[in-house]
C-alpha cells in the first residue's frame, strides 16, 4: 500500500460521515459522484482516495453503503475504542471533555489533568481532574492519545510528558509548534491561525463595497 496523503485521510473521515447519514436515509448504494457532492469534492477524487485501500465499488452500480462504511471504519481505526487523556481543563479542555460526540465515534476520555491546585480534584462529567504529576502513574492504565489544552508555555513540556508516558498520538490545541519523536502522531488545531487567515481573507478579498486599506 502506497503512502497515504493527509488530505486523503481527512476526506476519508468526511466520506465516513456522509455514509453514516446515507445509511440512515436507508439508501443501499451510492455512486462516487453522490458521495463527492456532499463534501464538495470531485468524484474522481473519491475514487482515487478509495483506490488507495482497495476496490470497494462495482462498476455500473456504485458502492454498497453499509459495506463501504465498514471498510472506512476499519481503515480509520474506528472499529475499536481509543483511550484519551485531556491535559489542561480550562475552558477549551473542559468543553472537549464534556462533548459526547467523540465518545460516540470511539474516543473515550479516561483521564483529565491540570497543574492548577484550584482545578485538581474538581469533578468534570464522571472524571476527577488529577495533578499532572500523576500522569506517568495514570498512563499505566494505557492511554492512546493526549489532548493538550494548556496555555502555550506549558505545551511542549506536557507533550514531552505524554510521550514519556507512552502516548502515541497528540492533539495540540495550544498555538505553538510542538516537537515530538517521529513515532508519535501529532495533529495541531490552532484557532488563532484560523482567525488570522479569516482576517487576511477579509482584508484582501475585495469587499462588496470600497476596498478596505490600499496597502500603505
Partner DNA sequence: TTTTGTGAACGTGTTCACAGCG
Partner DNA sequence: CGCTGTGAACACGTTCACAAAA
Stretch that binds DNA, among 58-66, 93-101, 109-117, 119-127 (CB under 7 A): 58-66
Q: What phi, psi does 208 have (nearest 5°)? A: -45, -45
Element (H, E) at 104: helix 101-104
3-state SS class at 184: coil
- How far apart are the C-alpha atoms of 129 and 121, rounded to whole Å? 5
Q: Based on CB atoms, which residue is closest to its own copies, 134 or 196?
A: 196
| Cα-based distances in Å from 74 to 5, 12, 108, 113 | 17, 11, 18, 30
Q: What is the Cα–Cα distance from 99 to 66, expressed in whole angstroms?
A: 27
The DSSP output letter for 152 is H
The nearest distance, CB 194 to DNA, in angstroms, is 17
**Does 8 interact with DNA (rule: CB under 7 A)?**
yes
206 three-class SS: coil
In angstroms, what CA-CA distances link 209 with 137, 199, 205, 206?
60, 17, 11, 8
Minimum distance from CB of 134 to its own copies (Å)? 23
Residue 24 binding DNA, by CB under 7 A: no
Cβ atoms of 83 and 142 closer than 8 Å: yes
- Pairing relation of β-strands 185-188 and 127-128? unpaired
Q: Which is nearer to its own copies, 59 or 80 (CB)?
A: 80
Q: Does 102 bind DNA (CB under 7 A)?
A: no
Residue 169 has which C-alpha cell? 498520538
C-alpha cell at 93: 479542555
5 counts as binding DNA under rule CB under 7 A: yes
**Least distance (Å) between residue 132 CB and its own copies:** 20
Query: How many amino acids of this chain bind DNA (CB under 7 A)?
Result: 26
Query: Which residue's CB is nearer to its own copies, number 57 or number 93?
Result: 93
Q: Which does 61 bind (CB under 5 to 8 A by kind): DNA, its own copies, none?
A: DNA
44 near DNA (CB under 7 A): yes
We find the least distance from the C-beta atom of residue 185 to DNA, in angstroms, to be 15
Strands 82-87 and 107-114: parallel
Q: At its nearest, how many Å lie between its own copies and the CB of residue 60?
A: 26
Which residue ranges make up the site for its own copies (CB under 8 A)? 4, 6, 9-10, 12-14, 16-17, 38-40, 74-78, 82, 90-92, 94-96, 98-99, 101-102, 105-107, 144-145, 168-171, 175-177, 179, 183, 185, 187, 189-205, 207-208, 212-213, 215-216
Question: Nearest distance from residue 44's CB to DNA, in Å?
Answer: 4
Amino acid at each position: 500500500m502506497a503512502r497515504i496523503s493527509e488530505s486523503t485521510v481527512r476526506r476519508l473521515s468526511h466520506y465516513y460521515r456522509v455514509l453514516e447519514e446515507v445509511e440512515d436515509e436507508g439508501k443501499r448504494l451510492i455512486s462516487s459522484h453522490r458521495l463527492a457532492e456532499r463534501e464538495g469534492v470531485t468524484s474522481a477524487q473519491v475514487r482515487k482516495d478509495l483506490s488507495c485501500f482497495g476496490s470497494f465499488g462495482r462498476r455500473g452500480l456504485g458502492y454498497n453503503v453499509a459495506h463501504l462504511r465498514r471498510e472506512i471504519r476499519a481503515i480509520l481505526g474506528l472499529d475499536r475504542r481509543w483511550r484519551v487523556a485531556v491535559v489542561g481543563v480550562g475552558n477549551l479542555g473542559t468543553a472537549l471533555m464534556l462533548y459526547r460526540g467523540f465518545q460516540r465515534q470511539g474516543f473515550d476520555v479516561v483521564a483529565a489533568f491540570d497543574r492548577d491546585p484550584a482545578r485538581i480534584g474538581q469533578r468534570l462529567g464522571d472524571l476527577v481532574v488529577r495533578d499532572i504529576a500523576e500522569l506517568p502513574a495514570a498512563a499505566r492504565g494505557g492511554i492512546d492519545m493526549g489532548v493538550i489544552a494548556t496555555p502555550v508555555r506549558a505545551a511542549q513540556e506536557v507533550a514531552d510528558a505524554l510521550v514519556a508516558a507512552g502516548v502515541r498520538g497528540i492533539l495540540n490545541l495550544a498555538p505553538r509548534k510542538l516537537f515530538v519523536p517521529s513515532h508519535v502522531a501529532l495533529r495541531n488545531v490552532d484557532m488563532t491561525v484560523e482567525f488570522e487567515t479569516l482576517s487576511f481573507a477579509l482584508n484582501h478579498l475585495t469587499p462588496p463595497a470600497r476596498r478596505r486599506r490600499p496597502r500603505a
